[in-house]
Amino acid sequence: MPQALTNMMAPVLALVIWTLVVLVWLYVRRIPAMRKAGIDPAKIKGSESFASLPPMAPKAVWVADNYNHLHEQPTIFYALCVYTHLSGVSDDLNAGLAWAYVAIRVVHSFIQITTNFVPLRFAVFNLGSLVLGIIAIRNVMALFGI
């Protein structure tokens, strides 16, 4: 198997790249939506004025929400991958689980950014949480020699 597929740090890089792709998607969708809504970025004073802004197209909000979500739960993923790599528990199963998590986050992004169908998005989120839990449990078991 190629090292990129078995290295715990490669999925970390992949999720970072995906997050940057979503950032570009955010700019592509949000800037035109702000213009269309008549929002002048120079007049925004921060979160205190956010509620007073004219509404934007939902898809412009969804992509921003997803970008934010890529900075929430994935922080656990990053920490787990680094721990797994440094502690020497980087076996094929953990690497496969890490790649599965990246794929799950990409699917989650597409759901949220395109249709934002919450029941499906929630199910995919839970699947990602399960994968993180399995990686964590495998690390705890290795720590205690189980």
Q: What is the pLDDT of residues 53-89, one digit of tens each?
A: 778 888 999 999 999 999 999 999 999 999 999 999 9
User: Which CATH number goes with the domain that contains 64?
Assistant: 1.20.120
- Count of structural domains, the chain: 1
- If one counts every other C-beta atom within 10 angstroms of the C-beta of residue 91, the result is 14
| Domain range enclosing 54 | 3-143
pLDDT digits (tens, 9 = 90+) for 3-44: 767 789 999 999 999 999 999 999 999 999 989 988 887 777
User: Model pTM greater than 0.95?
Assistant: no
Q: For residue 45, is pLDDT > 80?
A: no
Q: What is the CA radius of gyration of the chain?
A: 18
- Per-residue pLDDT band for 108 (boundaries 50, 70, 90) equals very high
CA distance 2 to 97: 16
Q: For residue 114, is pLDDT > 80?
A: yes
